[in-house]
Structure 1
Amino acid sequence: VYVLGKGLLCRMKVNFVEEPDTMMNDFREIAPTFVLFAPRVWEQIAADVRAAVMDASPLKQRLYHLGMSTGLAALEKGQHSSFANMLLFRALRDRLGFTRLRSAATGGAALGPDTFKFFRAMGVPLRTLYGQTELLGAYTLHPADKVDPDTTGVPMSEDIEIRIDQPDSQGIGEILVRHPNMFLGYYKAPEASAADVKDGWMHSGDAGYFNDHKQLVVIDRIKDLAETARGERFSPQYIENKLKFSPYIAEAVVLGAGREHLAAMICIRYSIISKWAEKNRIAFTTYSDLASRNEVYALLQKEVETVNAHLPAAQRIARFLLLYKELDADDGELTRTRKVRRSVINEKYADIIDGIYGGKPAIPVDTVIRFQDGTTQRIRTTLRVVDLGGHGPMAEAAE
C-alpha cells in the first residue's frame, strides 16, 4: 500500500535499498523527506548511535552526553535547543540521512517512549501511527503540535469513530473502530468476519484508553495483558520496550502471568556487546559463550536495575537470565515485525521458565539450534539466574 499505491497517487519517486546491510548508507544517500519505520528499525538506529559513541574518544563522549541531555531537557519543556543542535544534532542528522526530513512516523508495534524522545530531541519530526489493515491502514496520528510519546494520537478525520468497549475502573477496554472506508470482511471467511466485525464496529483486539487530552493510548494486545498472582495487572510489552532502549539489549521477554513476581529472559545485542567485550579484553568465542560471561551479566544487571528504578514496585523485574541465542522470526519466536510470540516462547522455553520460578540459581541447557542454511549446532551451557531482591515465595525458594 505505502510503496506502490502511495507512490502512484502522489507521483513520488520510490527508492529501494541495494542490500539489507547497506540500508543506512543508501538512506543517507537518498535523504528522503518522509520516512515510515517499524519500531524495531528506530530502536536499531538508536542502538547503533550509542554503540558508535562507545567507540568515540572521551572528549566526544562528553560532548555527546552534554548535547543529548541538553536536547532532552529542552524537549521536556516543548522546545528545541539551538545549543544542542549546533553541538551535536545537526551533524548527527546528517550522518543518519535525516537532513531533509519533513515528516517521520512509526507504527506496527509500540515504540518505547525513551527511544521516541531520543529522536524528537534530535530534531526528527517523529509521530506515531496506529491502525489495522482491515481499516485501510493507519487511522490515528499525533497532532503536529501535541506529540505525546505515550499515545498514538487522534483520529485522522472526523468520519473515523473510535470507542473503548467495556472499560474497567481505569477506563481500559478493547479498542473498537468504524469508518466509511473499512473493509467489507475477510475473503471467503464469513465466520472470521462475524467474529471481528459486530454492528459495523471492528474489534481491534488491542487494549487501550483515552487520556485527558482525548488522545488514544494503546497498551498491548488484550490477550497479552497479564496479571500476577497478587492481582496486579501489567503490560509485558511496555516493560520490554523499556529494557530494549538499552544499547546492550536486543530482545526481552517479560514473564509473570499468574506468578508472584515478574522475571525476564534477555537476549544480548551481540554486535554491541562483542565490541564492548573486545574493548574490555574479555575473551569469547560464540554468542552463547559471550552471553554466559560474568562481566556481561554484571553489565546487564545494571541496565535492568536502571529500568526497575523507573517502574512501579509491582512491575519491577525480580529475576532475569541471558538466553543462549537470539530470538528469531524463522523459529516462530517473533513475528516479522519483531513482536514476541508469547505462546511459542512459553512452550519452547517452558523448562527454563520453570527453573526461573522454581528458584534455581542456574539452569542447565542441552539443545540443538538449526540455522537458515540447514546446518545445526549443539549448545550445552548453563544459564545463570540473577536475583534482584524479589520477596515472597520465589525469593524464599532461591535461598
Structure 2
Amino acid sequence: IVSNVLNSVESFPFEKKPLGRALSFLPLNHIFERMVSYIYIHSAISIYYAESLEALGDNLKEVKPMVFCTVPRLLEKVFEKIMSKGAELTGIKKKLFDWAVNLGLRYNNRTSNGMVYDVQLSLANKLIFSKWREGLGGEVQYIITGSAACQVRLLRIFNAARIPIYEGYGPTENSPVISVNRRGKDGAKFGTVGPVINGQEVKLEPDGEICVKGPSVMMGYYKRPDLTAEAIKNGWLHTGDIGVFEEAKFLKITDRKKELFKTSGGKYVAPQPIENKMKESPFVEQMMVVGADQKFVGALVVPSLPNLRNWMRENGIEFTTTSEALRNPEVLKFYKKLIEDFNVFFNHVEQVKKFELLPEEWTIETGELTPTLKLKRKVIMEKFRDRVAR
C-alpha cells in the first residue's frame, strides 16, 4: 500500500496545502478510499468525513473541499439532479441552461473546438456552470473517480464546467492504482483510465486481460493459496479486467472478464458498455444486461421515475402508481423505442431485444449494490429470475 501511495503521488501530485480540504464519504474499509486517505495525509490535506450520503450535498457546501473521491453512480446522481432542476426552468433561463449543457457535451480536453466555442464556453461558465461549482462547494480542483466506468458525457460536461474529473483504475489486489488520468498536456483522455502510474508494469494477455507487476501487488489471498495461484502467475497479477491501450499510452477498460457471457449462439457479449450507453438516457436510472445461454440479449431496467412522471404529464397520461405506470402500453412503447434507438450503437448480437421495467431502485440496503455502488449481478439475477425468464 505504501508503494502505491508513493507511486501515485509521484504520478499525480497534489499540491501540499495545509489549508486544503478533502471530503471523504466512500467506505474506508475499501482500498480506494483508504489509500487516497494516506495520499491526503502525505500531502498535508485535511480530511473531513461526510455525515452520510444523504447529507453529502450539505456537507460539500459546508466543507468546500479541494478534492474528493467518488464512484460514477454518485456523479450520475449529481448530474440527474442538476438536469431535473434545469427541466423546471422556463423562458430564457431554460434556453440558457440547455445551451450551456449542449456546449458542455461537445467539450474535448485534447482538441480545440475553435475560438468561438471557447468564448461561448467561457460565457456559459459565468452564467450557468458557476452555479454547478457552487453546489459542490465552489473550490473543487480534483474529483477522482474509480470502481466502475464513468460515462464519457459526464466527463465532458463536468470538465467543461471547470469541475475537473480524473478517472482511474486499479483492483484491491494491487493496492489499488494501476493507472489514472492526470493534469497537464496529454495527461488525460476521456473514456480511458489514463496512463499507467510509475512503478507499475502492465501487459495485455491475448484475450485482452490486463496483467500488472510491481511492488503494490498483494502477497496473496488470506489462507487461500489456491486462489492466489490462480491470480498471480510468475509475479503477474491477472486482474480479470479486459482492456486495450489507446495511442499506446491510455489504458481503456472494456469489460470484466467474469461479466462476459455467451449467448446460446456462441457469441460473447460484454454487458457494461451496453449498460453505460443506455444509462445516458435521462429515463434510465439503472440497468443490467442479461442473456447468458439465451438466444438473445435482454435487460432489466429501473426507470428514472421523476423524469418518467414528467413525460407522462406532458403526454396527457395519468400517473397513479409506479406499478400501473410501468404496465401502461404507452410507457412500454416509449421504452421500446428508447432502447431501439440505442441499439444502433451495437452489433446485432449485442442489441437488447426484450426488457423488463422494475419499480424499485437497486440499493445497498436492499442488497443489489455493493458499498461502492456496483451491481451485484448474481444477486439481481436470483432476485428477478422470474422477470429474466420472460
TM class by shorter chain equals 0.7 to 0.9
**What is residue 57 of structure 2 aligned with on the other side?**
24
Distance of 2:51 and 2:331 partners within structure 1: 35
Residue 177 of structure 2: SS of its match in structure 1? strand
Answering whether residue 168 of structure 2 is matched by residue 129 of structure 1, we say yes
- Structure 1: 5+ residue runs without aligned partners? 356-399
Cα deviation for residue 267 of structure 1 reads 0.5
**Residues 181 and 83 (structure 1 numbering): CA distance in 2 closer, same or farther, change over 3 Å?**
same
Per the alignment, in what secondary structure is the counterpart of residue 304 of structure 1?
helix
Looking at structure 1, the residues matched to 347 and 94 of structure 2 have their Cα atoms a distance apart, in angstroms, of 31
**CA 1:62/1:316 → structure 2, altered by over 3 Å: closer, same or farther?**
farther
2:41 corresponding residue in structure 1: 8
Q: Counterpart amino acid of 1:91? A: S
Residues 89 and 123 in structure 1, CA contact (< 8 A), matched pair in contact too:
no
Q: What is the CA–CA distance in structure 2 between the aligned matches of 1:336 and 1:97, rounded to whole Å?
A: 22
User: 1:150 — aligned with what?
Assistant: 191
Q: In terms of mean alpha carbon deviation, does 38-47 or 193-202 score higher? A: 193-202
8 Å CA contact retained: 2:63, 2:137 = no
- Is the 2:96–2:128 contact (alpha carbons within 8 Å) kept by the matching residues of 1? no
Provide the alpha-carbon RMSD of the alignment.
2.6
Between the aligned partners of 1:89 and 1:204, the Cα distance in structure 2 is: 41
Cα deviation code 1:15-49 (max 9, x no counterpart): 22334323123213323222211011111111111
Q: Give the counterpart letter for 1:31 in structure 2.
A: K
Aligned-partner SS, 2:46? coil
* Equivalent position of 1:308 in the other structure: 343
* Structure 1 residue 252, shift from structure 2 partner: 0.5
Contact 1:178 1:202 in 2 (8 A): yes
Q: Match of 1:155, as an amino acid?
A: V
Counterpart for residue 213 of structure 2? 178
122-131 vs 334-343, which deviates more? 334-343
Residue 191 of structure 1 aligns with an amino acid whose one-letter code is: D
Shift, 1:161, TM fit: 0.5
Give, as a single letter, the amino acid of the residue that structure 2 aligns with 1:54: A
User: Gapped runs of 5+ residues in structure 2?
Assistant: 1-33
Query: Helix, strand or coil for the counterpart of 1:321?
Result: strand
2:201 maps to 1:161: yes
Indicate the residue corresponding to 2:78 in structure 1.
Answer: 45
- Kindly provide the amino acid, as one letter, of the partner of residue 194 in structure 1: A
**DSSP-derived class of the 2:169 partner:** strand
Aligned residue type for 1:200: G
Counterpart-to-counterpart distance in 1, 2:232 and 2:110 = 42
Note the C-alpha offset of 1:211.
2.5
1:282 Cα deviation from its structure 2 partner: 4.7
For residue 275 of structure 1, report the CA deviation from its aligned partner: 5.3
Quote the residue 2:96 is aligned against.
63
Number of corresponding residues: 349
**What one-letter code is carried by the residue in structure 2 that aligns with 1:120?**
N
- 8 Å CA contact 1:115, 1:245 repeated in 2: no
**Equivalent residue of 2:211, what SS?**
strand
For residues 349-386 of structure 1, the C-alpha deviation after alignment (integer angstroms, 9 at most, x for no partner) is 2222221xxxxxxxxxxxxxxxxxxxxxxxxxxxxxxx
Question: Which has the bigger relative contact order, CA under 8 A and spacing at least 6?
Answer: 2
Q: How far 1:245 sits from its partner (Å)?
A: 2.0
Q: Name the structure where strand makes up a greater proportion of residues.
A: 1
Measure how far apart 1:195 and its partner are. Answer: 2.4
Question: Is 1:85 paired with 2:122?
Answer: yes
Separation of aligned partners in 1, 2:154 and 2:265: 31
Q: Which deviates further from its counterpart, 287-296 or 265-274? A: 287-296
Verify the 8 A CA contact 1:139 1:160 in the aligned structure 2: yes
Q: Helix, strand or coil for the counterpart of 1:239?
A: helix
On the 8 A contact 1:288/1:325 being kept in 2, the answer is: no
Q: 1:272 to 1:130 in 2, by over 3 A?
A: same
Instruction: Note the C-alpha offset of 1:271.
Output: 4.2
Deviations 1:245-274 (A, max 9, x none): 222221111123333322211001234434
Q: CA deviation at 1:189?
A: 3.0
Residue type at the aligned position of 1:150: G
> 2:322 is matched with which residue: 277, 287, 290?
287
| Worse-superposed segment, 22-31 or 82-91 | 82-91
CA distance in 2, matches of 1:57, 1:312: 40
Local SS of the residue matching 1:329: coil
Q: Tell me the TM-score normalized by structure 1.
A: 0.78
Alignment of 1:88-99 (within 5 A): 88-97=127-136, 99=138
